[in-house]
């Protein structure tokens, strides 16, 4: 019996490793962000604003294909099949520019990177709901957050190092996903279904397939995700402008500052399950307050140390909010709609990234203040506003549950 128990535990551990492997690639569009200046060096006649599309173009393709994956996953195409196909496509499209240096070819390959990521985005969150009992989901979601930050850090550093050897080598950083691909091939299993299409949860109880409507609160959570990402982008795009523009450091310094953010996120990922058990419904308010404090430090900071401290604090706040919003989404969504609700939320996340430049332009036009420090203050205010909004809608979420 002991041997059987150990085997079951090992199998569960392998399954968890396969599920969180999907999170390693979710920031795949940003893998080459430290190398944009190097990429421009081989296309000197192309404006830098156009070169930036290397990162933004995949986000545009993520949105429709993420929604498509939400509709077909587990219904017309198996989760495991979709995961393997999307990872193979990401591998092929990511490395393709190594073999062809044309800019048009580069843009086409980046579009396919977006398609691959779009197909992959809803899978991890959906599998956590379908494969794990409710009391285990927060812990696995935390590990997914760890994997998300780890994947971004490793792949970005690999692309940066390879670019110093030769610019064309940076695309080979995508080969690192071969390892998580093998893990998925070996250990990811499909959630069980019966002939009627009912889903079987981790507790072994089969839920009969029901025709249910998407709860309205799912769209409210998606709106929160949209706002949360827009406010965060003041840091993602503004740290470089302040640190380099005000002479605090170089682009390499910005990379180190953002690494602190990633490390903090990984630590919170490991601890999120415990934090959620202790704080429960108040967990997300901790995230909002901590994030607002980080943006206050950014806006007021006059030395590089302030940005290291702010990044550490924001890494905590951002990842608490991220995990809490997706946990709320899981609790609000009927099992047969989980893939679609995940797709809706991920679409909101990417729309927030795409819409953020327009938001900051409108903010500058309305207020007459276009400085990045003002945008940082605005994001601080935004997170404080989200506390009030969540306090209002949180009561309705609790009633729905």
Half-sphere exposure of 62 (CA within 13 A, CB side): 32
% the chain with pLDDT above 70: 88
Where is mean pLDDT largest: 4-18, 134-148, 178-192? 178-192
Residue 201 is predicted with a pLDDT of 44
Residue 73 is predicted with a pLDDT of 87
% the chain with pLDDT above 90: 33
pLDDT digits (tens, 9 = 90+) for 206-259: 344 456 778 888 899 999 999 999 999 888 767 766 776 788 876 567 777 878
pLDDT digits (tens, 9 = 90+) for 260-307: 888 898 888 888 888 888 887 888 999 999 999 999 999 998 889 999
Residue 4 is predicted with a pLDDT of 35
Confidence class for position 45, pLDDT limits 50, 70, 90:
confident
Decide: 270 and 143 in contact? Cβ < 8 Å. Answer: yes
Contact residues for 204 (Cβ-Cβ < 8 A; gap 6+): none
pLDDT digits (tens, 9 = 90+) for 319-341: 899 888 988 887 888 877 877 88
Residue 198 is predicted with a pLDDT of 39
> Taking the model in full, what pTM does it have?
0.72
pLDDT digits (tens, 9 = 90+) for 169-178: 989 999 999 9
Confidence class for position 118, pLDDT limits 50, 70, 90:
very high
Residue 179 is predicted with a pLDDT of 94
Round the average pLDDT of the chain to a whole number and report it: 83
**What is the C-alpha separation between 210 and 266, in angstroms, rounded?**
38
Residue 195 is predicted with a pLDDT of 33
**What is the C-alpha separation between 162 and 18, in angstroms, rounded?**
27
> What is the CATH number that goes with domain 1-208?
1.20.1250.20
Residue 214 is predicted with a pLDDT of 82
- Which residue ranges make up each domain of the chain? 1-208, 210-401
Per-residue pLDDT for 308 more than 90?
yes
210-401 shares the fold of 1-208: yes
Cα–chain-centroid distance for residue 310?
A: 20
Residue 204 is predicted with a pLDDT of 38
Per-residue pLDDT for 383 more than 90?
yes
The candidate with the shortest Cα–Cα distance to 122, out of 321, 340, 322, is: 340
**Of 93-97, 202-206, 221-225, minimum mean pLDDT range:** 202-206
**What is the C-alpha separation between 274 and 286, in angstroms, rounded?**
14
Architecture of the domain defined by 210-401: Up-down Bundle (1.20)
Residue 401 is predicted with a pLDDT of 47
């Amino acid at each position: 019996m002991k041997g059987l128990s150990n085997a079951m535990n090992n199998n569960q551990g392998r399954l968890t490793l396969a599920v969180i492997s999907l999170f390693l690639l979710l920031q795949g569009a940003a893998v080459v962000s430290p190398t944009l200046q190097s990429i421009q060096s081989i296309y000197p006649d192309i404006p830098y604003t156009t070169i930036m599309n290397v990162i933004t173009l995949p986000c545009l393709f993520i949105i429709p294909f993420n929604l498509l994956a939400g509709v077909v996953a587990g219904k017309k195409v198996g989760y495991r099949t979709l995961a393997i196909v999307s990872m193979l496509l990401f591998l092929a499209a990511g490395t393709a520019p190594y073999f062809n240096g044309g800019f048009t070819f580069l843009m086409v390959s980046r579009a396919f990177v977006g398609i691959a990521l779009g197909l992959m985005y809803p899978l991890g969150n959906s599998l956590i709901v379908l494969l794990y009992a409710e009391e285990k989901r927060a812990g696995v979601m935390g590990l997914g957050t760890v994997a998300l930050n780890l994947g971004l850090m490793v792949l970005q550093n690999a692309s940066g190092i390879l670019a110093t050897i030769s610019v064309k080598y940076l695309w080979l950083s995508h080969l690192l996903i071969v390892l998580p691909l093998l893990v998925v091939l070996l250990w990811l299993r499909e959630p069980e279904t019966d002939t009627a299409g009912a889903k079987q949860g981790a507790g072994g109880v089969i839920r009969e397939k029901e025709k249910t409507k998407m709860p309205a609160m799912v769209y409210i959570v998606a709106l929160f995700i949209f706002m949360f990402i827009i406010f965060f982008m003041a840091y993602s795009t503004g740290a470089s402008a302040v640190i380099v523009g005000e002479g605090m450091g170089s682009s390499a310094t910005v990379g180190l500052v953002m690494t602190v953010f990633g490390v903090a996120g990984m630590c919170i990922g490991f601890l999120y399950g415990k934090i959620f058990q202790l704080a429960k419904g108040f967990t997300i308010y901790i995230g909002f307050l901590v994030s607002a404090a980080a943006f206050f430090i950014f806006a007021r900071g006059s030395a590089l140390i302030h940005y290291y401290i702010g990044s550490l604090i924001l890494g905590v706040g951002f990842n608490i909010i991220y995990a809490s919003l997706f946990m709320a989404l899981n609790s609000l969504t009927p099992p047969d709609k989980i893939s679609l609700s995940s797709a809706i939320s991920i679409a909101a996340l990417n729309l927030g990234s795409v819409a953020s430049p327009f938001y900051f332009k409108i903010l500058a036009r309305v207020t007459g203040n276009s400085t990045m420090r003002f945008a940082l203050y605005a994001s601080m205010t935004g997170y404080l506003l989200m506390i009030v909004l969540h306090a209002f809608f949180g009561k309705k979420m609790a009633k729905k549950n």
